[in-house]
Structure 1
Amino acid sequence: MNLLHRWWERSGWHYRRSLASRVAVLTTLTLGLSVAFMAATAFVTMRMQILSSLDQSLLDRATKAASHPALEEITRLEVPGWVLGAADVRVVFIDIQGEVLTADLGPRVQLGGPEAEVVRGEAAQSVRTITAEGGVRYRVAAVPAGEDVALVLMQPLAETDRTLRKLSTVLLLFSAGGVVVASLGGWAVARNGLRPVRRLTRSVEQIARTQDLRPLPVEGDDEIARLAAAFNQMLTALSASRDRERRLIADAGHELRTPLTSLRTNIDLLAQAGDGLPAEAHAEVMDDVRAQLEELSTLVGDLMELARDEELPHSVTELDLAEVVERALARVRRRTIDVGFDVDLESWTVRGESSALERAVTNLLDNAVKWSPDEGTVTVRLREGVLTVDDEGPGIDEADLPHVFDRFYRADTSRTMPGSGLGLAIVQQAAERHAGAVRADRAPGGGARLVMWVPGIGTSASSRTPASGATGVSERS
């Protein structure tokens, strides 16, 4: 069976056939070999049994005949064996000189070593098959018949061979019939067994044509049912991805409309006024255009960042989260004048993408700076992988807390302030890509508290469930 399997794999023939035909052919081959093996075993067993019975009968008759000394004398008188009731065998005496004495006519037979050993007393008996002149086969049995003499009975094997040929023909016919039945049965089993696969294939092809991502019906608890359940999981993930894409496109279109409309208005104003626009008004319009272009560039950059929905690249490295926070603080301090920072960082080694984490921390700090009053202070703490950023702004309303990290979400109090509404969504995406979590809360001083947790090396997301305290974070439901 191993040879059959290796041939089946190496030939490559089965890859050009349908699955049903492959199952049917493999079933036929397997059952055919099994039937052939059983038929061959039965034939060999029957042949051995027939020859064993024939040998025992010849030896018994030879032993009984050798006990009557008169048989040799009768043979010397050239009385054939059929006169004595032995028509089915030839009676032969052989002495130590190799002389053969027989009164039975028939093809010439060459007796040899095994019979000579019986004559010399070296063997108690011998049984073998020999072929006489003309291709006639005999079963020969020799037993001692006195001193230096052996009695040999030779029975033709024509009848036995005829019986064995009939037996082989019957076994061959039954084997061929078994192979045909196995082939039909294998084809029927393949077609009936693969009917659920064909139904599943039609359903998947229908989904491909119609883009209808509704789950497939699942029947039973076998391998096909598990395959359908796996397809349903894939369809659910695909449907969720498509919904996110549609929401992103719709929200992006809505957010892009405002700066584009403002830019179009300002450009139209500049085109209509020409050189007649006062210098002060011209400068004001140009400043507005620059601000809108900067807002548009920020929005496009944030959209590109959110579009990265893949897993972390294989080039992630081990890094210290405290160093990432320090680099982000340096960037924010360069563009911040009126806000101070109270920083206390504890080293925390993580495995991740440095640029993505730095972008997330920068967004947290920018958000805190945006809401902090002049001469305010942003408090930054890093303890056991939990980064806490507190500002001294007005805080976050309870109704807005569950939506702070949603894409394009703007609280009523923030609609007049700059920003794309994507900064905190990028924070959440970066944390989740690093198996972490984010949370928004109210700071003890009344401002907003934003918390991000990233698991360290050897720490899993499920091994720590920080509470929503001073440095805690818990995943949102």
Structure 2
Amino acid sequence: MFYNLRRYIFLYYFITVIIFGGGFSYVKDTAKPVDAYIIITVFLILVVISGIIISKLAIEPLEEYVTNLEELSRDTLHELNLPIATIKTNVDMIEKKLSDEKSLKRLSRIKTACNMLTQRYNELDYMIKRQTKREIIERFDLKELIDERVEFLRNIYVEVEFTKDLENFIINMDKIGLSKVIDNIIDNGVKYSQNANKIDITLKNKVLRIKDYGIGIDEVVLLRIFDRYYQNDDSMPGFGIGLSMVKRFCDTHRIKLNIESKKGSGTTIFLDFKGS
């Protein structure tokens, strides 16, 4: 579809330029000054009209494509909501009737997987809303959000010890976006702390501090750590977009982002909400 569209726009533009260029050259050489001004004005009007036509040719099919994609995404999300809710409900019912430890552990893994699906569902819904430029601002307690995210990640990283020292802090912000920021920072801390398995999280005086005890980051790498697609260690899973998303979110919501790290001694990331 887009290949043909590019071809049609190019042909239209090419023919238009030749016609206008030839006509302008002819008028300049043959017409009287007064007539030339009138004809040039007409040409300029035609150029504007031509630009409008080209923009319509370029934008309308793309706009239709994006609209259809958004509608498909919303329909798909709606269809996903029912099976996820069904799994949750039935797992809760089965859990009440089970006493065997092995079966309960298996059921716990199913619940964790279902929670992960729910998280992906919420993130897709969030991304679709962001594409339509709708602000998603909520009033919530950051302490409760951190508790929720740590509990979610604890089920995934069962070997990691999470320590928390949190104060209540009510803010107005994009809750799902901030959840993704917290998840990304903690996930990176776990990923680069494979021998330490400990994450400290504190929230005091409107500053969130997340510290790991991993391999640390070299000073040269710190200059590029928030660049999109940059990865300090190519052997690690992921695409290097998590921390760039963190930086973009913090810039948008006026959260001061700082990072302290020393090679071999771990990394600490600070989110200062005083200006948000």
| TM-score when normalising by structure 2 | 0.51
1:386 aligns with 2:199: no
| 1:444–1:351 CA distance, 2 compared to 1 (3 A) | farther
1:398 aligns with 2:216: no
Give how far 1:306 is off.
11
CA contact (8 A) 2:161 2:199 kept: yes
Q: Give CA deviations for 1:325-378 in whole Å, capped at 9, x if unaligned.
A: 111101110011222112111111110121111111011111111111345311
Whichever residue aligns with residue 155 of structure 2, its letter is: R
SS across alignment from 2:219 = coil
CA contact (8 A) 2:257 2:271 kept: yes
The aligned counterpart of 1:349 is 170
Residue among 338, 345, 355 paired with 2:159: 338
CA contact (8 A) 2:216 2:264 kept: no
Residue among 249, 252, 257 paired with 1:438: 257
CA contact (8 A) 1:431 1:453 kept: no
The aligned counterpart of 2:181 is 360
Distance 2:216 2:263 in 1: 10
Distance 1:452 1:346 in 2: 14
The aligned counterpart of 2:273 is 454
Distance 2:140 2:164 in 1: 19
Alignment of 1:35-114 (within 5 A): none
The aligned counterpart of 2:23 is none
SS across alignment from 2:223 = helix
Distance 2:132 2:201 in 1: 30
| 1:312–1:350 CA distance, 2 compared to 1 (3 A) | farther
Distance 1:364 1:337 in 2: 17
The aligned counterpart of 2:194 is 373
Whichever residue aligns with residue 175 of structure 2, its letter is: S
SS across alignment from 1:356 = helix
Larger helix fraction of residues: 2
| 1:373–1:385 CA distance, 2 compared to 1 (3 A) | same
Alignment of 1:167-246 (within 5 A): none
Q: Give CA deviations for 1:125-176 in whole Å, capped at 9, x if unaligned.
A: xxxxxxxxxxxxxxxxxxxxxxxxxxxxxxxxxxxxxxxxxxxxxxxxxxxx
Distance 1:415 1:344 in 2: 33
Distance 1:345 1:317 in 2: 20
Residue among 145, 151, 154 paired with 1:324: 145
CA contact (8 A) 1:338 1:374 kept: no
Whichever residue aligns with residue 337 of structure 1, its letter is: V
SS across alignment from 2:201 = strand
1:428 aligns with 2:240: no
Distance 1:360 1:322 in 2: 14
CA contact (8 A) 1:343 1:381 kept: yes
Distance 1:325 1:424 in 2: 18
Q: For the aligned residues, what is the CA RMSD?
A: 3.6
Distance 2:227 2:131 in 1: 15
Distance 1:310 1:437 in 2: 26
CA contact (8 A) 2:215 2:264 kept: no
Q: Give CA deviations for 1:16-58 in whole Å, capped at 9, x if unaligned.
A: xxxxxxxxxxxxxxxxxxxxxxxxxxxxxxxxxxxxxxxxxxx
Distance 1:444 1:418 in 2: 21
Identity of aligned residues (%): 26
| 1:312–1:349 CA distance, 2 compared to 1 (3 A) | farther
Whichever residue aligns with residue 218 of structure 2, its letter is: D
Structure 1 unmatched runs, 5+: 1-197, 212-297, 462-477
SS across alignment from 1:400 = helix
Whichever residue aligns with residue 399 of structure 1, its letter is: V
Q: Which runs of 4+ in 1 moved over 4 A?
A: 304-312
Q: Which has the higher contact order (CA 8 A, sep 6+)?
A: 2
Give how far 1:422 is off.
1.1
Give how far 1:439 is off.
2.3
User: Rg larger in 1 or in 2?
Assistant: 1
| TM-score when normalising by structure 1 | 0.31
CA contact (8 A) 1:305 1:426 kept: no
| 1:307–1:448 CA distance, 2 compared to 1 (3 A) | farther
